[in-house]
Structure 1
Amino acid sequence: MYDFIFAGAGLANTLIAYEIKKARPQSKILMIDQRKEFKSNSHTWSFHLGDLPAESFESIAPFVDCRWEKYSVNFPSYTRTLDLGYCSIHSHNFYEKMLTHVKDSLQLDTRIVSVSKNTVTLQNDYKLQAKYVFDGRGPQKQNKSLGYQKFVGFDVTLKSPTPQIPMIMDNCCLQSDGFRFFYTLPWSEKTMLIENTYYSTNPKLSLEKERQLLYEYVQQKGWEIQKINRQESGVLPIIARYPSQENLFASGWKAGFFHPTTGYSFPVAYKFARELAAAWNNDENIEKFYANWVQKNKRNKSFFFLLNRLLFKAPPQQRYRILEKFYKLPPDTISRFYRGEIMKRDIARIFSGRPPMSISKAMKCFFEHMIIKPFMKGAS
């Protein structure tokens, strides 16, 4: 009998396994994944420094590849640099470093047939038992999507040095197929991630077209690419409501371990891992802990699901105005937004003024979602 079995060895389950082993090394855990190797070369996880408490950042700092003390945003009407920290993690480095901590608990190249409250069933009806089974394999059925966050990125070496401040949103570009911006992270003087990101109502991603737009952006900036070191791309659903819980214990996407509007997943996954490990170490009731955590997470995210509706109800050419206005707000409001801990006064600031759509459409979003009371409850 295991203490924990983790179905899937993605970001969330790996973080949980790591924190549980740190909190209580004698814990008996098993992490099962169908991949043949414990690695990934295609992701960059980023987060704002304010997304995590200071003590949490100290714990995860060895896995952070780059940390900047400020970042910039750029819109047609202004450019702003914010003194808010920003961090990024390369997935291949993350898995390589994590392997030394979780390798004794890994079972790779194994297909999971089914998962229940305390049992994981493998092929040939072989069953494994645990006090707690966390399913982090992704949703079995997709929630209805309002739209999609799509991205194509190049990790490049440039011929000349570049600015050393991240540009997390450069909106000074043609707004085709929805709200669009470019995103740049300088790893060193001459290495950088350049990403073309946009919010669209359809899931189709034309790699050739988006790569061409990346080349045009690089040319516009006066940069010259010496070498493309890595490419990444993806399509993330922007959903209308909190994911339905298919299992008693879920993790990752199906448990809502992401920011509904921005798609940032690392901070939520890591906060959950830290809190679960602490509860386990203190012999708390894990079922009660999990139920309370899910309810709190749902409540904190309700506002953002409403904001998603507003974003996609606005005319495509005007969607950028929501973010253009947002980044003029005080730094503490911006920080709470990304942390997912929005307050009443923040909501008032975000919604004040004229929206980029008719009032009737804006009100329709409120009534469609029916979440005004939940997202206001407990805020101050």
Structure 2
Amino acid sequence: MNGRMIDVAIAGGGLAGGLVALALHRARPELRLALIEGGATLGGNHRWSWFSSDLPDEGAALLSAFRTTRWSGYDVRFPGFGRTMGTGYNSLASTDFDAALQRLLPAGTIRNRCQVAAVDARGVALGDGTRIEARCVIDARGIADAPHLEGGWQVFLGRRLRTAAPHGLARPTVMDADVEQHGSCRFVYTLPLGGDELFVEDTYYDESPALDRSALSARIDRYCGQRGWAGEPIDFETGVLPVITGGDFAAFQAAHRTDGVAVVGARGGFVHPLTSYTLPFAVETALAIAAEHDLAGPQLAALVEARARAHWRRTAFYRRLGRMMFGAGAPVDRYRAFALVYRLPQPLVERFYAARLTRADRVRMLCGRPPVPVLGAIRALGTHGPPLEKRAA
């Protein structure tokens, strides 16, 4: 593509980059876009889920383009306590993400198996030496770690399986923490994707990003066996996601900044610090970019960076919760922080996940019996966590 300028080049075809491309195409179909992905398909091997209350109508409309699985409620379980929530829950597989974007975006927009070597304000350099010139460049590449930030890790292995008999599960179990904790905050997440199809994920919060596939697979075996679910695995998904408890966000932005290039997704800091959810913020950012499609690249970069700083400020309470969860009390009691949330009214739980807690919500969450020792919480709030750097693990 040397010598030919397009309107917008997006480096990275994961969730954030794909949604930006779709939102831009819906807002201005005449724009010439390039969505550049190093892998064979968009989105990798992932499953993204969200609560219906996470998104405004405009966001739900953007995601309506994808084939999703939807439920009218979900369950949670903790030791001595369980609850069915009436909030809608949704899930999107990366295969359906890729299929929809391949269908909806204009021919030639998606460039698979193209490694990005570098980005700048005027284009994207590819690993094979070619260059895509663009009026505006958006960096949606992910990151492996974030040494300027502090915290722990959410580690998981998910297994999709075909059960030998109908499993009988009517709705998702978003968090089953009524299981052996194994020295951390552990829970099992289960989605009924069909009458004889399940997605079962073993998840835990830990200081280390190490992922032991055999140990987590064995835990899933035991969990399924206890519930009488037998069947053949279809595929697997693993992940190690940051749980952010603090750090220098200005330094984080500087480390990932390229002058004149807008940075989105996890690379831009658009994550939920405590749950590691990204989809609601990816949708929000995509819609904001689509609304400002006429901005020059440097102006758009400044706008997106300012939105990231506002998101960091807005989510400070969650980082404090994370410091208390990791730094106060015994690791096996960390689940109590989530149990506390789920004893609160449903609208507050919805705002918790959407990162829209009010001042009154924050006060209510901290009133009454705390989920961790008070003195331990005070000490934790005054200390720094380890850097979110996988190489240091």
What TM-score does the superposition give when structure 1 sets the normalisation length?
Answer: 0.90
Give, in angstroms, the shift of residue 253 of structure 1: 1.0
Q: Which of 10, 13, 17 is 2:14 aligned to? A: 10
What SS class does the counterpart of residue 162 from structure 1 fall into?
coil
For the Cα contact (< 8 Å) 1:13–1:136, is it kept in 2? yes
Give the equivalent residue in structure 2 for 1:308: 322
Give, in angstroms, the shift of residue 350 of structure 1: 1.6
Give the equivalent residue in structure 1 for 2:358: 343
Give the equivalent residue in structure 2 for 1:253: 266
Letter in 2 for 1:313: G
Letter in 2 for 1:294: A
Which of 63-72 and 234-243 deviates more?
Answer: 234-243
Matched, 1:328 2:328: no
Which of 10-19 and 145-154 deviates more?
Answer: 145-154
Give the equivalent residue in structure 1 for 2:232: 227
Q: 1:24 to 1:342 in 2, by over 3 A?
A: same
Q: Which of 124, 139, 156 is 2:161 aligned to? A: 156
**CA displacement 1:8-36 (0-9 Å, x = unmatched):** 1111111101110110011122122222x
Give, in angstroms, the shift of residue 118 of structure 1: 2.8
What SS class does the counterpart of residue 310 from structure 2 fall into?
helix
For the Cα contact (< 8 Å) 1:164–1:188, is it kept in 2? no
> Distance between the aligned counterparts of 1:62 and 1:141, measured in 2?
31
Give the equivalent residue in structure 2 for 1:375: none
**CA displacement 1:45-70 (0-9 Å, x = unmatched):** 00000000123213312314211111
Letter in 2 for 1:93: D
Give the equivalent residue in structure 1 for 2:184: 178
For the Cα contact (< 8 Å) 2:160–2:235, is it kept in 1? yes
For the Cα contact (< 8 Å) 1:300–1:342, is it kept in 2? no
Provide the aligned length of Structure 1 versus Structure 2: 367
> Distance between the aligned counterparts of 1:80 and 1:203, measured in 2?
30
Q: Which of 101, 105, 122 is 2:109 aligned to? A: 105
Matched, 1:22 2:26: yes
Letter in 1 for 2:169: P
> Distance between the aligned counterparts of 1:166 and 1:123, measured in 2?
42
Give the equivalent residue in structure 2 for 1:286: 300
Unpaired segments ≥5 residues, structure 2: 385-393
Give the equivalent residue in structure 1 for 2:313: 299
Identity of aligned residues (%): 29
Give the equivalent residue in structure 2 for 1:128: 132
Unpaired segments ≥5 residues, structure 1: 370-380
What SS class does the counterpart of residue 253 from structure 2 fall into?
coil
Q: 1:140 to 1:116 in 2, by over 3 A?
A: farther
Give, in angstroms, the shift of residue 228 of structure 1: 1.3
> Distance between the aligned counterparts of 1:90 and 1:65, measured in 2?
7
Letter in 2 for 1:208: S
Q: 1:63 to 1:105 in 2, by over 3 A?
A: same
> Distance between the aligned counterparts of 2:374 and 2:201, measured in 1?
34
What SS class does the counterpart of residue 168 from structure 2 fall into?
coil
Give, in angstroms, the shift of residue 368 of structure 1: 4.2
**CA displacement 1:192-237 (0-9 Å, x = unmatched):** 11111111111111111111111111111222x2221111112112
Q: What does residue range 177-216 of structure 1 map to in structure 2 within 5 Å?
A: 177-216=183-222
Matched, 1:74 2:77: yes
What TM-score does the superposition give when structure 2 sets the normalisation length?
Answer: 0.87
> Distance between the aligned counterparts of 1:138 and 1:283, measured in 2?
23
Q: CA RMSD in A?
A: 2.2
Give, in angstroms, the shift of residue 312 of structure 1: 0.7
Give the equivalent residue in structure 2 for 1:114: 118
For the Cα contact (< 8 Å) 2:154–2:206, is it kept in 1? yes
Matched, 1:87 2:90: yes
Give, in angstroms, the shift of residue 366 of structure 1: 3.3
Q: Which of 283, 288, 291 is 1:270 aligned to? A: 283
Give, in angstroms, the shift of residue 251 of structure 1: 1.4
Q: 1:286 to 1:146 in 2, by over 3 A?
A: closer
Give, in angstroms, the shift of residue 282 of structure 1: 9.0
For the Cα contact (< 8 Å) 1:3–1:27, is it kept in 2? yes
What SS class does the counterpart of residue 353 from structure 1 fall into?
coil
